[in-house]
Amino acid sequence: MADLTTTFAGVRSPNPFWLASAPPSNSGSQVHRAFEAGWGGAVWKTIGPPVLNVSNRYGAWHYGGQRMLAINNVELISDRPLEVNLREITEVKRAWPDRAVIASVMVESKPEAWHEIVRRVEDTGADGMELNYGCPHGMSERGMGAAVGQDPGYCQEITSWVTAVAKIPVIVKLTPNITNIVVPARAAIAGGASALSLINTINSIAAVDLNTFELTPSIGGKGGHGGYAGPAVKPVALNMLAALGADSVVGKSGLPISGMGGITTWQDAAEFLLLGASSVQVCTAVMHYGFRIVEDLCDGLSNWMDEKGLATIGDVIGKSLPRVSDFKDFDLSYRAVARIDEAKCIKCNLCYVACNDTAHQCIDLIDSSGAAVVPYGYDVRSNGKDEAVSKRPQPRVREDDCVGCRLCYNVCPVEKCIAMVDAPSGRESVTWDELMQSNPELGEDWEAMKAYREKHGIHVH
Amino acid sequence: MDSKGLQETHPPLTAHEALVEANRCLYCFDAPCMHACPTHIDIPRFIKKIATENLRGSARTILEANLLGATCARVCPVQELCEGACVLGAEHKPIAIGRLQRHAMDSVNDRGRSMIPVAGPSGRQVAVVGAGPAGLSCAGELAKRGHAVTVFEKRDLAGGLSTYGIIGLREPVETSLGEVRMIEGLGVRVETNQALGRDFVLADLQGRFDAVFLSVGLGTTPEMTIPGEEFVLDGLAYIEDSKLNPGGMKIGRHVAVIGAGNTAIDCATVAVRLGAERVTMIYRRTAEEMTAYLHEYEFIKNEGVEFRFLTQPVRVLAPGGHVTGLDCVRMELGEADASGRRAPRMVPGSEFTIETDQVVKAVGQEKPWAALGLARAKGFISVNEEFETSLRGVFAGGDCIRARGTASTVMAVQDGKLAAAAIHQRITEGAN
Ligand SMILES: Cc1cc2nc3c(=O)[nH]c(=O)nc-3n(C[C@H](O)[C@H](O)[C@H](O)COP(=O)(O)OP(=O)(O)OC[C@H]3O[C@@H](n4cnc5c(N)ncnc54)[C@H](O)[C@@H]3O)c2cc1C
Ligand SMILES: Cc1cc2nc3c(=O)[nH]c(=O)nc-3n(C[C@H](O)[C@H](O)[C@H](O)COP(=O)(O)O)c2cc1C
Ligand code: SF4
Ligand code: SF4
Ligand code: SF4
């Protein structure tokens, strides 16, 4: 059994799975039940100044019959009184000494306000605090949340107010609603943060109602942008996480990062760990399925680690970071082609139409005599399953023409039916960066490029 | 046996079920289901339209290829056709194409007519004889092209076997009549109680119309020539009563059905569902040689119907006109005959009696078209690739030409559609 124990900025938890600051961690009784289910930690729903919430505050993106591939919300920070939250945090921490209990906070941008909240949070016995610089709606209109996260100056200043007085670890939670995530991360580090977390939700409009022409959800006839989270945002979050790992300043700071954004399964979580997160947080998946999902998050992760010979969470963290690179450093001579496993293929022809209409026209439909045939070529008088199945041609890749773009691989509905197989180009390995140093004209002159391709046998059709 | 009645077995899909099922479809390109459908409906297209809640567009996609999509959705042997070819069949469950088709068609109901464009009048006239699926399909396709079509139908109601022959479990009469109304809405005239050979002859039509399409189907159940046959009920009439006159129908306590084809199964279903205590199917060969589909065989066994294979009826016992039993002999299979099926022969001295108070025969349909004077093959009307008979300008399609393979509604629809294209070609030749 792999050891899932996690230490994050000095805070220990029995596993790396924390509830993100959000509805699942809204109250003491909820967090209590989450801990009973096995969650390693909880970042309390953000506490701070008084607010009033609205109805219809959660929208969602459904696709192809799948519900809630993403949630979209205009919920504010906790609408329960500060006193109540602080008292419940105290009670929960006392009852669960081995779990990570983190208070998420957001107050007015004044040093006194921040000093006051730090003192009161520390009185609860919480293990740490997370500064919410990410809420993209409502709070930002009041100069808090994303209004801070989007301004590196503010971000650094407020962080330093907090770190000047805080005795417990301070995690700065970043907003993804920014062009370069590295900038606010560096600001937080300059402000003395002990750790980072990302991502908060992404600005979004969920949908428009085709009957009423209102936005969906409609809040008394109006709607607006809200924060986007859930499975659909995972690739965005992974990219931001990797960008921090690859940054020299953030990397050198050694600050731990708590990763989140779309984590639903242990596989998702493992990917965050591999790209440098040292704990992970979950919101939408819990809102969809409840606290019980933590069982498989732990079980699946542990079994996978055993299989891979990874004994501790520390062995997993950042293992894939060295693979993060840029286009300019990719090997241009690397070549792969698509190959169809005809025994697995169900002949849906989705690869064929994708390649033929939108890629490189290098999949043929081959009949039993080995000849390439045109689609819809059957006689209108023919019918019946026997004829339709037995006469159905087999899609086959013309590997010499295949540029290895991987589109067919992505559309194929059958597991492991199309493989991208290495097909050594025979060319010496070279990157774009190297090429620009040796042959700068290739980046400017199509004639030169043509000559280069001819010389190296690169055919693009 | 409890009598479950003859309401449609499959309830319609709910909107949610249809959406989930439609989303399961992979949207194959040049899909095999489409090839397998005799009318080649663009199945992935109509299913994806259900997924996008464009039901109007979905129904229209179906109607473009098959004017009788509502009937076909209910009666097609989909296991042998579209669903049998679905790429998801091998490892998962094939898409419920028939039920989705019904969902789309039912959503537009009688508004189907409004989505079919009709060309301006061409000035040409075509006569169609027989208002079954083949005739209605041909008439509708010709009307779409602007031709004036008159359909002559022998019976009171149009629709052919969809109205009179397909048990209510699969298709209610109303669905069939709704389709007739839709075809009439395209401008087609349907004249009922008009029989070819009784009320008019072929030459009358040839004089009045630019072309003729014969879609007269097949005839009644043939004679078995056994003593007491006058007390045996005709299977087709038995089914017809169950659809149009269920109240006046008398169902035996122990019903014996002779035959093991699709019609025989339907007769047994009627008997079981309308209250027979015991139903026995009697067939002179074995389960292997049955012409009913496997899914029909499974269905009827589940209904509790018994089978007597290798059994040949020889005499109906009906003292005083009341049926009391059916004398039979046991059979054994000999050498394979010309059609590859092993011919059954009697086992001497094996006679025995099956107790029964109602005997129904479903042993095929007659091919009564000799008097028309057209070239025929095995009793069926012969046509060329263009569905033209030996008489120029007289075309034919549907069951009356189906000399090979199993006849089905959807094939009749495709015949009508292809024949309409050929007729259109012929009657507009040389015209601008
Ligand atoms: C009991 C039974 C159950 C069946 N179940 C199914 C099923 O579940 N699924 C399926 O796909 N197929 C089924 N079939 C087959 C299907 O019904 C036929 O293949 C289809 O109806 C053929 O269409 P058609 O237009 O050629 O003939 P028909 O439907 O037979 O129509 C012929 C029409 O011509 C009329 N007519 C006949 N003679 C004359 C005349 N002299 N003058 C004017 N009109 C005339 C008839 O009254 C009739 O209306 C079944 C058949 C039977 C008998
Ligand atoms: C309804 C809702 C309310 C949220 N409220 C807060 C909050 O009060 N404070 C905060 O820091 N993040 C809040 N978040 C953001 C989540 O903590 C988390 O960063 C984000 O949802 C991404 O994770 P996920 O994809 O697992 O949901 C909220 C998210 C949702 C969906
Ligand atoms: S997409 Fe996959 S399953 Fe479908 S035809 Fe192509 S290789 Fe076969
Ligand atoms: S018409 Fe019949 S065979 Fe064709 S798609 Fe519809 S249900 Fe399937
Ligand atoms: S074969 Fe099946 S999955 Fe493919 S388009 Fe047809 S119904 Fe859909």
A350: chain B residues, CB-CB within 8 Å: 26-29
pLDDT score recorded for residue A144 = 85
Containing domain of residue A356, as a range? 338-425
pLDDT score recorded for residue B297 = 92
The reply to whether A289 falls in a domain is: yes
B32: chain A residues, CB-CB within 8 Å: 347, 388-389, 392
For residue A13, CA distances in Å to A9, A99, A102, B164 come to 11, 5, 11, 74
Lowest mean pLDDT segment, chosen from A100-114, A277-291, B119-133, B280-294: B280-294
* A·B CB contacts under 8 A: 75
Same domain, A100 and A232: yes
B45 to chain A, any CB pair closer than 8 A? The answer is: no
| Rounded Cα–Cα distance for residues A24 and A47 (Å) | 14
CATH number at residue A362: 3.30.70.20
Token pair of A240, please?
A: 């931001």
What are the start-end ranges of the H helices in A150-293? Answer: 152-165, 182-190, 234-246, 248-253, 266-274, 284-289
Chain B residue at shortest CA distance from A412: B26
A349: chain B residues, CB-CB within 8 Å: 28-31
pLDDT score recorded for residue B431 = 58
pLDDT score recorded for residue B219 = 92
Cβ-proximal residues to B170 (8 Å cutoff; 6+ apart), any chain: B8, B9, B74, B75
CATH number at residue B323: 3.50.50.60
A350 to chain B, any CB pair closer than 8 A? The answer is: yes
Locus of tokens 């030749």: B429
Domain count, chain A: 2
pLDDT score recorded for residue A142 = 86
The reply to whether A18 falls in a domain is: yes
Same domain, A285 and A355: no
Same domain, B89 and B158: no
Q: Which residues pair with B213 in a beta bridge?
A: B128, B395
| Rounded Cα–Cα distance for residues B315 and B302 (Å) | 29
The reply to whether A40 falls in a domain is: yes
Contact A383 B35 (CB under 8 A): yes
Same domain, B237 and B348: yes
Same domain, A373 and A226: no
The reply to whether B223 falls in a domain is: no
pLDDT score recorded for residue B64 = 96
DSSP-derived pairing of the beta strands B325-336 and B189-191? unpaired
| End-of-domain residue from the set B79, B95, B114 | B114
pLDDT score recorded for residue B1 = 38
Containing domain of residue B243, as a range? 229-361
The reply to whether A458 falls in a domain is: no
- Nearest Cα neighbor of B87 from A345, A65, A356 is A345
Same domain, B325 and B310: yes
pTM to 2 decimal places = 0.90
| End-of-domain residue from the set B65, B87, B114 | B114
Same domain, A271 and A383: no
Residue type, A235: P
User: Which of A346, A363, A365 should be substituted to probe chain B, the one whose Cβ sees the most B Cβ atoms within 10 Å?
Assistant: A346
* H helix or E strand, kind and range, residue B102: helix B97-108
Condensed to tens digits (0 to 9), the pLDDT of residues A235-270 reads 999 999 999 999 999 988 999 999 999 999 999 999
Same domain, A357 and A308: no
The reply to whether B175 falls in a domain is: yes
Taking each continuous run of H as one helix and of E as one strand, the counts in chain B are 15, 16
Same domain, B16 and B103: yes
Helix (H, G, I), strand (E, B) or coil at A77: coil
Same domain, A283 and A141: yes
Contact A65 B31 (CB under 8 A): no
The reply to whether A457 falls in a domain is: no
Same domain, A349 and A299: no
Domain count, chain B: 3
Same domain, B68 and B168: no
The reply to whether A430 falls in a domain is: no
SS3 content of chain B, % helix, strand, coil (to 5): 40, 15, 45
pLDDT score recorded for residue B4 = 66
The reply to whether B222 falls in a domain is: no
Same domain, B288 and B338: yes
Same domain, A319 and A355: no
Q: What is the mean pLDDT of chain B?
A: 93
Instruction: Indicate the pLDDT class of residue B344, thresholds 50, 70 and 90.
Output: confident
Lowest mean pLDDT segment, chosen from A290-294, B236-240, B331-335, B377-381: B331-335
- Nearest Cα neighbor of B423 from B217, B270, B209 is B209
The reply to whether B224 falls in a domain is: no
* Residue closest by Cα to atom 2 of ligand 3: A412
A352 to chain B, any CB pair closer than 8 A? The answer is: yes
Count Cβ neighbours within 10 Å for each residue of A289-310 and write b for 16 or more, e otherwise.
eebebbeebbeebbebbeeeeb
| End-of-domain residue from the set B303, B326, B361 | B361
Q: Which residues pair with A431 in a beta bridge?
A: none
CATH number at residue B68: 1.10.1060.10
Confirm or reject: Cβ of B70 under 6 Å from ligand 4.
no
Same domain, A158 and A300: yes
CATH number at residue A27: 3.20.20.70
Q: What is the mean pLDDT of chain A?
A: 96
Same domain, B259 and B342: yes
CA atoms within 13 A on the CB side of A317: 21
Same domain, A314 and A385: no
Same domain, B129 and B21: no
Condensed to tens digits (0 to 9), the pLDDT of residues A175-213 reads 999 999 999 999 999 999 999 999 999 999 999 999 999
| Rounded Cα–Cα distance for residues A326 and A339 (Å) | 27
Same domain, B183 and B201: yes
Low-confidence ranges of chain A (pLDDT < 50): none
Locus of tokens 């070529």: A377
- Nearest Cα neighbor of A293 from A276, A268, A273 is A268
Confirm or reject: Cβ of B101 under 6 Å from ligand 4.
yes
Instruction: Indicate the pLDDT class of residue B289, thresholds 50, 70 and 90.
Output: confident
Token pair of B374, please?
A: 């057209």
The reply to whether A329 falls in a domain is: no
| Rounded Cα–Cα distance for residues A206 and A265 (Å) | 24
The reply to whether A229 falls in a domain is: yes
* Residue closest by Cα to atom 8 of ligand 5: B25
Same domain, B213 and B300: no
Locus of tokens 């009937």: B71
State yes or no: is A355 an active-site residue. no
Answer yes or no: are the C-beta atoms of B383 and B389 closer than 8 Å.
Answer: yes
Condensed to tens digits (0 to 9), the pLDDT of residues B67-81 reads 999 999 999 999 999
Instruction: Indicate the pLDDT class of residue B91, thresholds 50, 70 and 90.
Output: confident
pLDDT at B369 over 80: yes
Other Cβ atoms within 10 Å of A443 Cβ, number = 11
Closest CA of chain B from A286, distance in Å? 24
